[in-house]
Chains A and B, each alone.
Chain A
Amino acid sequence: MKVILHRPQRKEIEIPGGRKLAEIARELNINLESHLVVRDNNILTRDEFIQDDEVIEVFPAVSGG
């Protein structure tokens, strides 16, 4: 599966899919309290299952303020 990370720079990485978002977030050290994960324009909850051929995008919510 492909993960598109936004900020600081746009970056794409390939990791094994076929597991829940919570597990993927843990592996990538992404805090789901400060990020939203989107698949096909839909925001995902942490229990969502991500297939190996899917693409997810990770948007950070924190700004300088």
Chain B
Amino acid sequence: MRCQICRGKASVEVRQHHAAFCPDCFVQYFLKQIKRNIQAHKMFSFTEALLLVVSGGKDSLSLWDALLRLGYNVTALHLDLGIPGYSDRSRDTCSAFAAQKGADLRIISVKEEFGLSIPEIARRTRRVPCAVCGRVKRYLFNRYAVEGGFTTVVTGHNLDDEVAALLGNLLHWQLGYLARQHPHLPSTHPKLAKRVKPLYTLTERECLAYALIQRIPFLAEECPHAEGATTILYKEALNHLEEASPGTKLAFMKGFLKHKDLFKAAEEEVKLKECTLCGQVTTEDVCAMCRLRERIETGINR
């Protein structure tokens, strides 16, 4: 197989675009896709202060590497979840990458913030760790961005993440989530940073290829709580379709964005206000995070 750009020996096949690339041309293709997504959805400019959320995995580190190469003004933020062993390795991976690139990395710890780690909060409140983790992440990332003067929270969600979420939302007819799912969620309140996903057209396999070619020392280990996650089941199902019919995932995503107005009616008119306890944006008097904090303190599942 030949590289479609330079006609050298191909290394990475990208069947959804009927293409194959040598390692060097693949890197250029990957960077071009990211730049195109940023521009197409007016995600951010070169001067904006970006807060990139990094876990130490292939997706977030590949995006970090790409944004640095493209010359964006990016600061990374890692959240130490306090999961024994795994969180130490995640943090160390991010720190090593930052040191290697001379890049700006901030680290915040869930344990320092709430007095308990994610698994401990989950046990105390009798909730699923992934649900607690998602809520804590969204809250802390937004608060850190707003307080730190960052306009934008950038995440490493890729095409597989997005189509798996889309499939899940369709299977359960989560119309509200469908109305809100988009690679660019603009800020609708002064205390709400906009959220963007520049990798939303690139597959996990392409992110892995970029990380391997660029020799990015990412953490290949899976979060111990992700085992058996429904998301993985959806991703596997979609990859079976992709193998039989290349381009299915991208067409699913692009088709959804094209016809997204179909779900507009489900978009609830929400009035955003500030939490009476912490001042962060919420639709209630007390935000979900403060309610969780209350449960942590009382240890009562309400």
Q: Is A14 located at the chain interface by the 8 A CB criterion?
A: no
Beta-carbon contact of B20 and A62 below 8 Å: no
Of residues 1 through 46 on chain B, the ones whose CB sits less than 8 Å from some CB of chain A are 1, 10-13, 15, 20, 23
CB neighbours of A59 from chain B (8 A): 208, 212, 220
Q: How far is the CA of A33 from the CA of B226 in the complex (A)?
A: 21
Beta-carbon contact of B243 and A61 below 8 Å: no
Of residues 2 through 34 on chain A, the ones whose CB sits less than 8 Å from some CB of chain B are 6-7, 31-34
Closest A residue to B13 by beta carbon equals A45
Encoded as 1 (CB less than 8 Å from any A CB) or 0, chain B from 183 to 219 comes to 0000000000000000000011101110011000000
Of residues 32 through 51 on chain A, the ones whose CB sits less than 8 Å from some CB of chain B are 32-36, 38, 42-47
Partner-binding segment picked from B87-95, B109-117, B228-236, B272-280: B228-236
CB neighbours of B231 from chain A (8 A): 64-65
- A-side interface size class: 20 to 34
Beta-carbon contact of A36 and B205 below 8 Å: yes
Q: How far is the CA of A32 from the CA of B12 in the complex (A)?
A: 11
Nearest CB of chain B from residue A16's CB, rounded to whole Å:
23
Q: How far is the CA of A32 from the CA of B239 in the complex (A)?
A: 9
Partner-binding segment picked from B98-106, B156-164, B170-178, B281-289: B156-164
Nearest CB of chain A from residue B221's CB, rounded to whole Å:
8
Beta-carbon contact of A35 and B222 below 8 Å: no
* Given A44-B11, A61-B203, A64-B223; A32-B212 close (CB under 8 Å): no
- B-side interface size class: 35 or more
Closest A residue to B207 by beta carbon equals A61
Beta-carbon contact of A61 and B208 below 8 Å: yes
Q: Is B120 located at the chain interface by the 8 A CB criterion?
A: no
* Given A36-B212, A61-B207, A64-B231; A45-B12 close (CB under 8 Å): yes
- Our pick among A6, A31, A43 for the contact of B220 (Cβ within 8 Å) is A6
Nearest CB of chain A from residue B220's CB, rounded to whole Å:
7
Q: In the complex, which of the residues B11, B164, B205, B209 has the most CB atoms of chain A within 10 Å of its own CB atom?
A: B205
CB neighbours of A32 from chain B (8 A): 243
Beta-carbon contact of A45 and B239 below 8 Å: no
Closest B residue to A42 by beta carbon equals B11
Closest B residue to A34 by beta carbon equals B239
Q: How far is the CA of A32 from the CA of B1 in the complex (A)?
A: 16
CB neighbours of B225 from chain A (8 A): 64
Residues on B close to A: CB < 8 A? 1, 10-13, 15, 20, 23, 57-59, 157, 160-161, 164, 203-205, 207-209, 212-213, 220, 222-223, 225-227, 229, 231-232, 235-236, 239-240, 242-243, 246
